[in-house]
Amino acid sequence: MSTKRVVITGLGVISPLGNDINSYWSNLIKGKSGIDYIDSFDADAFSTKIAAEVRGFKATDYLSRKDARRMDRFMQFACAAAQQAAKDAKLTVNQENARRVGVWIGTGIGGLETHEKQHQILLEKGPGSVSPFLIPMMICNMASGQVSIMLGAKGPNGSTVTACAAGTNSIGDAFRLIQNDEADIMITGGAEACITPLAMAGFCAMRALSTRNDHPQGASRPFDAQRDGFVMGEGAGIVILEEMHHALERGVKIYAELAGYGTLGDGYHIVQPDPEGNGAAQAFISALKDAGVAPEQVDYINAHGTSTEINDAMETKAIKKALGDHAYQVAVSSTKSMTGHMLGAAGAVECIAAALSCQHNLVPPTINYRDPDPLCDLDYVPNEAREKTVNVAVSDSLGFGGHNAVLVLKKFNEHGD
């Protein structure tokens, strides 16, 4: 293991459960669903008419009107969450530290809303009417680019694009940069804004989405026997990662230590996970080894838990392979039951939930869990939050293409005990 330790000193979130950390965490603990009927476009013709939309968000609360117009919605979310996190961490980027502060923000799809709108303009009005900002508003790396410009961060800058694992992989990749002494601070996480007609049509065509349109708040039901697909979500989660001694010298609040990261591929199928869960299990094992944590030390897992038939059964199998008999002693919950699946932002907002669980010794529930599935036989913290000492929390993400990414967080102890 690296001798450099990395801690989390700032959090920011834009989510279907609220557009700040306090609202997000409070609603998670209350078991509130952020899923409802889609109101951003007419979904009457779609087999799925529900989603977990971000509501009440005003880009101009964080950006000038001019800058906001030149960003896709996923970039606006990233900039807003990054501002929150930087403020929370009391982070000021200046000439002295700019080269040691980096940005690494993942996304699964990027600026799809811009793509759709500008393609329609091309068809209706011709190429001369397409915006000159089309490309920088659409490309996946530009959330990181815009945040670095906004905050003045000139250290390592990039974006990891691994579908639904993008937020987790980005945090893990940023973690490595600090461990390798390429930065003191990384502004990292994920952002997504894909509740658009084209994205919804594509996922509906795959039959990946829940069609429980008569009960939106009950549609996402991870690990439940009656689950019928995931619910699309959107938003952004940003964490400030910082080398431990740097954070202690600044005297800032530390939420948790990010202690380990593991990532492996299935090499199996473009969208289906390996049903045996071997890649996911190995990512768990790799992350725990990286953190110096034994399986029996894990207290809580914020699971990928998408509410799809194959994923939830496979993930349960992977957890049991990684933790052995201790898997039955661990609290496992899926906050996607409340936020929906935020794709490339999911792993980041779930890492935030894991960090807050370490801080508060409180585990969010899996809501809508009513009918146990024999293939999913772990403790999924059904329907109500639970007080529990959380010294070690794990957050995992699994993405189309067979991407498996796992983060291990510890309750912070300066002496590493």
Assign residue 119 the CATH number of its domain: 3.40.47.10
List phi, psi (to 5°) of 240: -95, 115
List phi, psi (to 5°) of 104: -145, 100
For residue range 39-63, list pLDDT tens digits in order: 999 999 999 999 999 999 999 999 9
Percent of all residues in the chain with a pLDDT value above 90, rounded to a whole number:
98
Q: Which two tokens stand for residue 375?
A: 């293939």
Q: Which two tokens stand for residue 417?
A: 């005990």
Asked, for residue 120, whether it belongs to a domain, the answer is yes
Q: Which two tokens stand for residue 382?
A: 């059904």
Residue 95 has pLDDT above 80, yes or no: yes
Residue 415 has pLDDT above 90, yes or no: no
> Which residues make Cβ contacts (< 8 Å) with residue 299, sequence separation at least 6?
330, 331, 388, 389, 390, 391, 392, 393
Asked, for residue 192, whether it belongs to a domain, the answer is yes
- At 234 the three-state DSSP class reads coil
Q: Report whether 384 contacts 365 (CB < 8 A).
A: yes
Nearest to 284 by CA among 307, 262, 306: 262
Average pLDDT over the chain, rounded to an integer: 97
* Domain total of the chain: 1
Choose the catalytic residue: 140, 164, 358, 376: 164
Residue 161 has pLDDT above 50, yes or no: yes
Full domain range(s) for residue 185: 7-401
159-190 burial, b at 16+ Cβ within 10 Å, e below that, comes to bbbbbbbbbbbbbbbbbebbbeeebbbbbbbb
Instruction: Please name every residue paired with 230 in a beta bridge, in sequence order, or none if there are none.
Output: 209
pLDDT of amino acid 117:
97
For residue range 237-257, list pLDDT tens digits in order: 999 999 999 999 999 999 999
Task: Let me know if 376 is a catalytic residue.
Answer: no
Per 3-state DSSP, the chain is made up of helix, strand and coil in percentages (nearest 5) of: 40, 20, 40
Asked, for residue 410, whether it belongs to a domain, the answer is no
pLDDT of amino acid 417:
59
Asked, for residue 97, whether it belongs to a domain, the answer is yes
Residue 1 has pLDDT above 50, yes or no: no
- Crossing angle (nearest 10°) for helices 112-125 and 197-205: 110
What separation in angstroms does the CA of 183 have from each of 25, 104, 174, 175? Answer: 29, 11, 9, 9
**What's the CA gap between 181 and 37, in Å, rounded?**
47
Asked, for residue 214, whether it belongs to a domain, the answer is yes
Measure CA 89 to chain center: 19
Q: Can you give the pTM of this predicted structure?
A: 0.98
Q: Report whether 136 contacts 157 (CB < 8 A).
A: no
Under the banding of pLDDT at 50, 70 and 90, the label for residue 414 is confident
Percent of all residues in the chain with a pLDDT value above 70, rounded to a whole number:
99
* Lookup result for tokens 């914020």: 302
> Which residues make Cβ contacts (< 8 Å) with residue 125, sequence separation at least 6?
none
**What's the CA gap between 373 and 413, in Å, rounded?**
38
- The arithmetic mean of pLDDT across residues 300-326, rounded, is 98
Asked, for residue 411, whether it belongs to a domain, the answer is no
Measure CA 300 to chain center: 17
Asked, for residue 415, whether it belongs to a domain, the answer is no
**What's the CA gap between 273 and 264, in Å, rounded?**
12
Asked, for residue 407, whether it belongs to a domain, the answer is no
Nearest to 215 by CA among 49, 373, 382, 30: 49
Residue 2 has pLDDT above 60, yes or no: no
Cα R_g (the chain), whole angstroms:
20
Greater confidence (219 vs 3) lies with: 219
- The arithmetic mean of pLDDT across residues 223-242, rounded, is 98
- The arithmetic mean of pLDDT across residues 104-123, rounded, is 98
**CA-based max dimension of the chain:** 65
Under the banding of pLDDT at 50, 70 and 90, the label for residue 134 is very high
